[in-house]
Structure 1
Amino acid sequence: MTSADRRLLLVHAHPDDESLNNGVTMAKYVAEGAHVTLVTCTLGEMGEILVPELEHLAADRDDALGEHRAGELADAMAQLGVTDHRLLGGAGRFRDSGMKWDENGHATAADEIHDNAFWNADLREAADELVAIIREVRPQVLVTYDDFGNYGHPDHVQAHRVAHYGADLAAARSYRPDLGEAWDVPKIYWMAMSAAKFRESISAIRASGDTTTFEGVEVDNLPPFAIEEDQLDAVVESSEHVQAKLAAMKAHRSQITEDGMFFAGGMDMAAVVWGSEHYRLVKGARGPVGESGLEEDLFAGL
């Protein structure tokens, strides 16, 4: 398979999720000539605004954050070189559901959510929007969240459900032929963070005297998206594209600030923390592994 024949589809809940989780992966494959398609399910209308001069965009004021974040997403994709980025069902079809923290410290659905919140979406209706995209793009690899949405956010959980149901329906020849010719995605991955790498990063941050970044997270108390090495299947690393990822993260300025936790310890530390992107293979055969003991190419074996 040549690079030009490779097609990668990522399904994310909000603008900025893609840059944080898969920025290196996206930039690397674009640079190699692969076709990268990003599907974002909402515009992140309920996101926490970290820039004072943008606070008027909040849902309880001007309610204009979604349009602003669409611009941030476009800027981030320009940094990564991704030209095919789409909103599931079009802008405003599904709204950010918002969230709250439960007693276990996990994200969960808010007490009150908008009528067209993504969490309220009919699963088949949302999946049909993705079926059409899958059948058009015909990706060999699909990347999305795990069944817990990595940390419980309702929109991440719903994106996981839509991605898997959409992939299943897209493969069924007799299902909705009006949405295109059937396509069975060969490999599906859940994004993850290496628990070992997270421990190294937390140790370095604490050794620097920083006790507030990732407050409550310690080497023996990691969040649920930190996955132990024996459960990981693939890693994408590319020092050549780390700076593009960091630039894409910065483009989401309403959500990610340079003095915030994602850049704790400065840019050199950020490059180390965010330079490796790990995955769990949940559909398809594992391909050849590299020196890391993991697949080092999501298209391995195809």
Structure 2
Amino acid sequence: MGTIVSFHAHPDDESIASGGTLALAAAAGHRTVLVFGTRGELGEPVPGVLAEGEQLTLRRTAEVFKSAEVLGVSRVEFLGWTDSGMMGEPTNDVPWCFWQADVEQAARRLATILEEEAPDVLTIYDDNGGYGHPDHIQVHRVGMRAAELCEVPVVAQGTMNRDLIQRAWAMAEEMGVEVPEPPDSETPPEGLTAEEGVTAAVTFGKAEADLTHWVDSSSVTKQKRASMLSHASQIGPDHFMAAMPDEIFTFVFGPEWYIVEERHQGEPPAIFTELFQPKPAA
């Protein structure tokens, strides 16, 4: 039996980014663990979903455990920082938000869990956090450092296939599905150093040529969608991801894309070779 620790910024990120990977791993008898940097306090709730006086933080925490049950996850942990909000917002400057966390300190907090679990694979995000969100970028930084501290054999940087997104949007439009405009701005976000500016342009995912591996989760897309819908405060039944026809949903969310860094020589862990496949040839 192998172990995957999947590190995320906010509740519901696990469903979208790695839900299929986790569901497949759990179904095969492997141990799966979720870790979150924040509880998603600044998420925008679906109108009317919260009861009077209900705190979004508590709702999103409960939703994570429901999602984890759907995916077969064995353990859920939170590192304890708060949601930083979108890049450039005043909430980025709050001292206790994740964006302001000292990377070394946060990495050591994550490393405590990694030492307990001794994972074969750690999943994080790419260096732009998928789409430039400060908490997602911080997941990359903290995860890479924690993996270094604990000598995790494989680090898989979850991302989105930018080229596939464009193809999926075109397919959806042809089928008459209403979808938001695909984001493709090259405007660098505020709050990053000059060296990080080019890397962190606000684009979704990475070009297909930059990806190294993928996980085919098409057999568990019903489970993955159920995991998404567990986060009812964020993804209502009329959300475009929830409303997609099965064919489009499987096309978009069946493959989960990664940039994999094998950190140590020798044979890769069995759980990695079982789940992760080299990117298909173009």
- Whether the TM-score (by the shorter chain) exceeds 0.5 is yes
Aligned to 1:181: none
Aligned to 1:179: none
Structure 2 counterparts to residues 268-287 of structure 1, below 5 A: 268-284=247-263
Task: Name the CA distance, whole Å, in 2 between partners of 1:200 and 1:216.
Answer: 11
Task: Name the CA distance, whole Å, in 2 between partners of 1:144 and 1:245.
Answer: 18
Paired residues of 1:236 and 1:278 also in contact (CA < 8 A): yes
SS in 1 for 2:18: helix
Q: Which amino acid aligns with 2:96?
A: N
Aligned to 1:199: 166
Pair 1:111–1:36, CA change in 2 (3 A): same
Pair 1:246–1:233, CA change in 2 (3 A): same
114, 134, 154: which one pairs with 1:154? 134
Pair 1:146–1:55, CA change in 2 (3 A): farther
Q: Which 4+ runs in 1 deviate beyond 6 A?
A: 285-288
Paired residues of 1:263 and 1:269 also in contact (CA < 8 A): no
Aligned to 1:50: 46
Task: Name the CA distance, whole Å, in 1 between partners of 2:168 and 2:75.
Answer: 33
Deviations 1:219-259 (A, max 9, x none): xxxx7333333221111113331111000000001111221
Cα root mean square deviation, aligned: 2.6
Pair 1:87–1:244, CA change in 2 (3 A): same
TM-score under structure 1 length normalisation: 0.77
- CA shift for structure 1 position 48: 0.9
Identity %: 34
Task: Name the CA distance, whole Å, in 2 between partners of 1:160 and 1:228.
Answer: 18
**1:298 pairs with 2:276:** yes
Task: Specify every segment of 5 or more residues in structure 2 that has no aligned partner in the other structure, as ranges.
Answer: 185-201
Paired residues of 1:141 and 1:299 also in contact (CA < 8 A): no
Paired residues of 2:213 and 2:259 also in contact (CA < 8 A): yes
Q: Which amino acid aligns with 1:76?
A: S
Q: Which amino acid aligns with 2:19?
A: G
Q: Which has the higher contact order (CA 8 A, sep 6+)?
A: 2
SS in 2 for 1:203: helix
Task: Name the CA distance, whole Å, in 2 between partners of 1:275 and 1:299.
Answer: 13
Deviations 1:260-280 (A, max 9, x none): 121343344223321111111
Task: Name the CA distance, whole Å, in 1 between partners of 2:52 and 2:175.
Answer: 36
Aligned to 1:291: none
TM-score under structure 2 length normalisation: 0.82
